[in-house]
Amino acid sequence: MAALKTPLIAPSLLAADFSCAADEVAAVERGGADWLHLDVMDGHFVPNLSMGPQLIKALRPRSKLAFDVHLMIAPVDPYIEAFAKAGADHIHLHVEAGPHTHRSLQHVRDHGVKPGIAICPATPPEAVSEVLDLVDMILVMTVNPGFGGQKFLTSQLAKIKTLRRMADATGRDIRIGVDGGITAQTAPLAVAAGADVLIAGTSVYGQDDYGAAIRDLRSGVHIPA
Ligand code: DX5
Ligand code: ZN
């Protein structure tokens, strides 16, 4: 394994109070978050609806956090430009979202945004092997996408390990994010398997003190310098 990096914490706005979204973003920024994760759902690729580029654009001037946008939509291509213009720093699209993810990832890069490939629990790690040269991150779903508050699937740990090996073998700097059911208990398992970005909705926004929740996540997985 390549040298371990201190994992980044990316609270997922999906679990926040949307009636005061900008305050909710500011609160995790003050609380020590590294990135903000934004979940986009289309009611087609996943059985739920969430937010579109308008909300992301409205929040962009209110925060310095990197905006980590997770597209759970199909098709993807017609919307990449809108999310790039809205202020996304990273755009993750799903390997299951269509036959031309290779081209879609290139579009993301062409818009000056860092591309990531997301992978559902039922999809084997080899499904992303031919796009690793195009991505800065692999987003491993540790729940079936569509809803917050689900239980972490320990069955995905072996896949994280395999993907860590595959990512390291490229010689490129590829982060591995884990998304779904991440808590102070499950985060250390994911990090031990090779994850270095922790997406956390309920375990941050579901707590009274967001800063304490972020510290809890971090303390379990701290890698000494
Ligand atoms: C699920 C989303 C996740 C979700 C995670 O489809 O991609 O980002 O917000 O929520 P928790 O942390 O509550 O499982
Ligand atoms: Zn997500």
In the numeric block, which tokens belong to residue 195? 């994850």
pLDDT value for 113: 99
Q: Which residues have CB under 8 Å from 150's CB, separation 6+?
A: 143, 144, 180, 181
Q: What is the mean pLDDT of the chain?
A: 96
pLDDT reading at 199 higher than 70: yes
Q: With a threshold of 0.85, does the pTM exceed it?
A: yes
d(CA 56, CA 64): 13
CA neighbor of 11 nearest in space, from 56, 86, 67:
67
217 lines ligand 1 (CB under 6 A): no
pLDDT reading at 2 higher than 60: no
- CATH class, domain 4-224, is alpha beta
What is the band of 125 on the pLDDT scale with cuts at 50, 70, 90?
Answer: very high
- Looking at the annotation, which residues are catalytic? 39, 179
Q: Is 220 annotated as a binding residue?
A: no
Residues with Cβ within 5 Å of ion ligand 2? Answer: 39, 70, 179
The torsion angle over the Cα atoms of residues 44, 122, 36 and 175, rounded to 10 degrees, is -140
181 lines ligand 1 (CB under 6 A): yes
pLDDT in tens, 162-190: 999 999 999 999 999 999 999 999 999 99
Domain boundaries, given as residue ranges, for the chain: 4-224
What is the band of 6 on the pLDDT scale with cuts at 50, 70, 90?
Answer: confident
Q: Is 70 annotated as a binding residue?
A: yes
164 lines ligand 1 (CB under 6 A): no
Residue whose tokens read 């490129």: 172
Q: Which residues have CB under 8 Å from 10's CB, separation 6+?
A: 33, 34, 35, 36, 37, 68, 177, 197, 198, 199, 200
Alpha helices in the chain (DSSP H): 21-30, 53-59, 77-86, 101-110, 157-169, 187-193, 202-205, 210-219
pLDDT reading at 4 higher than 70: no
